[in-house]
Structure 1
Amino acid sequence: MNPLDMLIRQYAAPVMKAAGFTKKGRKFRLTAPNGDCALLEFDTHAVDPEKFVFDVTFFMVPLSHWEFTYRQYRQSDEMHAPDASGALARCPVMPPPDVAWWPDEGMPFRSRWAFSEPETRDVCGQRLARVLADEAIPRVVRLLDRRALLEEILTAPDGDLMRIRSRRMTEIILRIDDDPVADLTALLDGTEVNDWDKPIIIWARERLSQRAAEE
């Protein structure tokens, strides 16, 4: 077995499973009752012949953003389960300095974990399990609440929780299913629209029309 897969199986998988995540390969998934997903993924970097270098990143995928991103497949069998391509925000799980590839560098290099096989694999795995259990998992679970996610996206320092959309589009996507229709309509009416954001506005108005009809 690949040493990184051994590390994931021995150290990451148990804490992720205990938190309710399911595993497929090097990816973990937690789905909220409303369909929103939190994903944790491992990605490798072939940058050091003497070490295994990898990133650990979590992705927040609200179902509303996923359905906007893949709206052309909404009523077809091609609409697959949410994945990182529909993330609205992402955040690296930062390694402690002693298991970081370049601990004194800035982003994106500072987020890379590293270990030598077999000398430091166990140390790296132990550090990873602790960071996941004590920091990353509690944060991810909390951010499955859309209001908590919106607040943190709008206030997080640069380089921490990285949003994919503009602040206003993020707000619309995260409020679209829960806030009063009248409030959201006023928000849309007061939004300056550029060509990049126009599809979201059109989609949001259609979604609000459906909500109004159902209510």
Structure 2
Amino acid sequence: MVRPAKALDQVVRNRIAPPLKDLGFTRKGRRFTFERPDGARAVATVRPFTLGRNDAEFHVDFFAQPRVWRDFMALEGRDPDWHLWSQRVLVPGAPGTMRDHWSFDLGDLEAGASLTEELAQLAHTAVSFLEPSALLTHVHSNPYLPGLGSRRAVVVATLLAATEGPSPELDAMLLAFDQDPDWPDFNPAFTAFVRSRLAGR
């Protein structure tokens, strides 16, 4: 068996880096970054998760940080690299507990090709979600918010909707926040930030 670190680096070089480079990602070790001129950023990271079964064993995570989200994080003094959306590249047909764990030998060309295909699809999704309207559609169409963790749909939708300008729906969202002083997701600076974005349009 090839040493795990060496095997993983070979997978990154041959199976992961090429499709990401084609999309415009730049590489630093096992981290890949795509940044738009407006500062929106998508990131992919490859992390080892070794069980001793095959040459290469790892997870691949994608993150999306639309510009409006990074601006709010900076205003709050939080890490601007804290993602809004994230998702792991899943293994087709794998059982639930192992569905995000890639594990194969370097000579397994079928598994390597499958990784490249699945990764390229999710990379396109991550880049598309840098556009607030695309991520907003995702929020509206997925009641369980895949990729958004514990964040409430209304918070994410309000923030993203602010990039599209004033609307009766957005006014109603802001009013609901104003009338609920105990809402847990962010402090009142959130509604002030949204209103300032609207005023600047």
TM-score range, shorter chain: 0.7 to 0.9
Q: CA deviation at 1:157?
A: 6.8
Per-residue deviation, residues 58-84 of structure 1 (Å, max 9, x unmatched): 11112222233342448xxxx7xx53x
Please give the residue correspondences for 1:100-111 in structure 2 after superposition, counting only pairs within 5 Å: 103=94, 105-107=95-97, 109-111=98-100
Report what 1:50 is aligned to: 53
The answer to whether structure 1 residue 177 and structure 2 residue 163 are counterparts is yes
Out of 138, 142, 145, the residue aligned to residue 156 of structure 1 is: 142
**SS of residue matched to 1:2:** helix
Aligned counterparts of 2:145 and 2:91: Cα–Cα separation in 1: 15
Give 1:126 deviation, angstroms.
2.1
Report deviation, 1:186.
3.8
User: Using the alignment, how far apart are the partners of 1:119 and 1:159 within structure 2?
Assistant: 37
The percentage of counterpart residues that share the same residue type is 26
What is the distance in 2 between the residues matched to 1:157 and 1:127?
Answer: 29
1:142 counterpart letter in structure 2:
S
Q: 1:2 aligns with which of 6, 10, 14?
A: 6
SS at match of 2:21: helix
1:13 and 2:17 correspond: yes
Show the counterpart of 2:85. Answer: 89
Name the structure 2 match of 1:65: 69
Q: TM-score, normalised by structure 1?
A: 0.75
- For 2:136 and 2:194, how far apart are their aligned partners in 1? 19
CA shift in 2, pair 1:157/1:12, >3 Å: farther
Q: What is the total number of aligned residue pairs between the two structures?
A: 194
Q: Report the CA distance between 1:159 and its aligned residue.
A: 8.0
Aligned position for 2:26: 22
8 Å contact kept, 1:58–1:91: yes
Partners of 1:22 and 1:169 in 2: CA distance = 31
Q: Distance in 1 between matches of 2:99 and 2:170?
A: 39
Gaps of 5+ in 2: none
Letter in 1 for 2:32: F
- When structure 1 is superposed on structure 2, of 32-41 and 7-16 the one drifting more is 32-41
Change (3 A) 1:3 1:39: same
Stretch deviating more after TM superposition (186-195 or 7-16): 186-195
| Two-structure CA RMSD over aligned residues (Å) | 2.8
Q: Where does residue 119 of structure 2 map in the other structure?
A: 132
Structure-2 residue corresponding to 1:165 = 151
User: How far 1:185 moved relative to its partner?
Assistant: 4.0
CA gap of 1:17–1:198, structure 2 versus 1, over 3 A, is closer
Task: Provide the rounded CA distance (Å) in 1 between the counterparts of 2:136 and 2:197.
Answer: 23
Structure 1 residues 6, 65: CA separation in 2 closer, same or farther (over 3 Å shift)? same
Counterpart of 1:113 (choices 102, 105, 111) is 102
Q: What CA distance in whole angstroms lies between the structure 2 residues aligned with 1:95 and 1:54?
A: 11
